[in-house]
Amino acid sequence: MKKILVGTHNKGKFKEISYLLSKKIQKISPQKLKIQSPKETGKSFLENAKLKANYFSKYSNLPVISDDSGLEIKALNGKPGIYSARWAKRHGSFKKAMNFILMKMKKKRIGPQILFVAFHSNT
């Protein structure tokens, strides 16, 4: 494989994913090919990642690696989950959304929690 499309419009995610791939592979962004993002209509992170990978592959004719991510906070019953970005936008910014989360956790009298990050692979 000589080229791969990294299926995200998020510059930070593009860098993170690109870093994990071989330096010998040319990484291409959807912006470079003027491909818009699809609507994320999946019911899970995995469904949204597959949706994006299939969409970008269809319009680029390249192999694609894609992801979906967000916050699932056990104390808040898994919220905001797959709607994290939309949720943060609704609160005005990422920082405001994080302050809202902290306030909700204080109301529930929940102290500091351990952050657990999981990665899923279908291989």
97-117 pLDDT tens trace: 888 888 887 777 666 555 544
> Based on the domain organization, do 74 and 62 belong to the same domain?
no
Confirm whether pTM is higher than 0.85.
no
CB 87 within 8 A of CB 77: no
Identified catalytic residue from 68, 71, 82, 87: 68
Q: How many residues does the chain have?
A: 123
CB 100 within 8 A of CB 91: yes
Range of the domain at 92: 70-123
> Based on the domain organization, do 59 and 108 belong to the same domain?
no
* Number of domains within the chain: 2
Q: pLDDT band for position 6 (50/70/90)? A: very high
Region 59-69: mean pLDDT is: 93
Does residue 67 have an active-site annotation? no
> Based on the domain organization, do 122 and 79 belong to the same domain?
yes
> Based on the domain organization, do 50 and 80 belong to the same domain?
no
Q: What is the pLDDT of residue 33?
A: 96
